[in-house]
């Protein structure tokens, strides 16, 4: 079924000395979907996305974009199908916004007239027109990210990778970016995004995979994953006052469990969400994970 799969990664592994950052991960991204790659800081999300986009060479494994192996050929034409917005904004900050965007058009060999039309259209769409002659250095983080988005999509990639795209953004910018992602996806662009915001995954993603300590733990649609642990969640505090969670496949079981708790217990009953899934499969909170940073 290669026709439906636009990204196929098999056994991709990255080792830094004795430390294995990503361990034999298999990923299939279907054409036209929004695929979420979840995990705590240091779980291996960025390393995985860098290996898939050829920015980091895998120690083992292969990556195919639309059936073409891009791990062997560094100048593979398949790269033209890829766009990436990195977690750390990768722009030349000592030149202007327009020069950065034009540079990306030049690198992707877009004919000049067509490039200028795209620059005008995309800069208008992102509200960048008043800032085109400003040095990137002098822009705020949100505006820099908008410039990075235009640079990443100027060559109209078939698959767009976003590495924690909303990290550090205010609510308005976050929703603007969500709308943009949905818009690009509606126009046929496949989206691969990493995030450690569970609400973002639920809001945007058709399918998600969770990675922890370099291992792919689980993948499926958000609904499937929630159903997998039980659709009903009960939050309560145990005798030591520690918050506990129990999951049930139907409401009756959930009610029966609540009735079994001591009188006066503070109980919350609700639908299971992605955060519950995450806690169940990783056994801890996202933000509590120790961050492991390697230069890659």
Binding span for another protein by CB under 8 A among 27-35, 70-78, 176-184, 203-211: 70-78
94-99: list long-range contacts, CB under 8 Å, 24+ apart: 94/135, 94/136, 94/137, 95/135, 95/136, 96/132, 96/133, 96/134, 96/135, 96/136, 97/123, 97/128, 97/131, 97/132, 97/133, 97/134, 97/136, 97/139, 97/147, 98/132, 98/133
Determine if 103 is a binding residue for another protein (CB under 8 A).
yes
- What does the block give as tokens for 46? 């960025």
94 binds another protein (CB under 8 A): yes
100 contacts another protein (rule: CB under 8 A): yes
Sheet with 60-65, side-by-side order of all strands:
19-30, 5-16, 60-65, 68-69
As measured in angstroms, the least distance from the Cβ of 65 to another protein is 11
CA distance 150 to 269: 43
* 118 near another protein (CB under 8 A): no
Asked if 178 interacts with another protein (CB under 8 A), we say: no
Q: Are strands 215-220 and 68-69 parallel, antiparallel or unpaired?
A: unpaired
User: Considering only residues 154-173, where is the footprint of another protein by CB under 8 A?
Assistant: 155
Choices 22-30, 94-102, 172-180, 262-270 (CB under 8 A): range interacting with another protein: 94-102
- Interface pattern 47-66 for another protein (x via CB under 8 A): ------xxxxx---------
Q: Between 29 and 91, whose beta carbon lies closer to another protein?
A: 91
Contact between residue 63 and residue 51 where contact means Cβ atoms under 8 Å apart: yes
- The two tokens of residue 252 are 């009756």
Task: Supply the minimum distance, in Å, between the C-beta of residue 49 and another protein.
Answer: 12
Q: Quick check: 93 binds another protein (CB under 8 A)? A: yes
Count of positions on this chain that bind another protein (CB under 8 A): 36
86 lines the binding site for another protein (CB under 8 A): yes
8 Å CB contact between 182 and 151 = no
Q: Which residues bind another protein (CB under 8 A)?
A: 53-57, 74-80, 82-84, 86, 88-96, 99-100, 103-104, 106-109, 151, 155, 295
């Amino acid at each position: 079924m290669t026709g439906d799969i636009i990204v196929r990664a098999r056994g991709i592994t990255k080792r830094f000395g004795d430390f294995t950052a990503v361990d034999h991960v298999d990923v299939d991204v279907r054409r036209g979907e929004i695929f979420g790659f979840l995990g705590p800081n240091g779980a291996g999300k960025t390393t995985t996305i860098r290996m898939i986009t050829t920015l980091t060479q895998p120690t083992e494994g292969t990556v195919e974009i639309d059936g073409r192996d891009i791990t062997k050929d560094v100048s593979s034409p398949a790269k033209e199908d890829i766009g990436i917005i990195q977690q750390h904004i990768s722009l030349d900050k000592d030149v202007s916004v327009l020069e950065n965007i034009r540079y990306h058009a030049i690198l992707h060999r877009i004919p000049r007239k067509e490039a200028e039309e795209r620059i005008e259209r995309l800069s208008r769409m992102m509200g960048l027109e008043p800032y085109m002659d400003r040095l990137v250095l002098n822009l705020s983080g949100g505006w820099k990210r908008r410039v990075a988005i235009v640079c990443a999509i100027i060559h109209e990639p078939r698959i767009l990778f976003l590495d924690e795209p909303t990290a550090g953004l205010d609510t308005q910018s976050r929703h603007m970016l969500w709308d943009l992602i949905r818009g690009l996806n509606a126009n046929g662009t496949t989206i691969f995004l990493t995030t450690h915001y569970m609400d973002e995954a639920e809001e945007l993603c058709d399918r998600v995979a969770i990675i922890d300590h370099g291992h792919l733990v689980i993948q499926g649609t958000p609904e499937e994953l929630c159903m997998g642990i039980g659709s009903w969640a009960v939050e309560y505090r145990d005798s030591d006052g520690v918050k506990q969670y129990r999951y049930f496949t139907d409401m009756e079981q959930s009610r029966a469990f609540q009735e079994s708790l001591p009188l006066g217990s503070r109980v919350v009953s609700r639908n299971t969400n992605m955060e519950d899934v995450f806690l169940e499969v990783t056994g801890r909170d996202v933000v509590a994970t120790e961050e492991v940073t390697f230069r890659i």
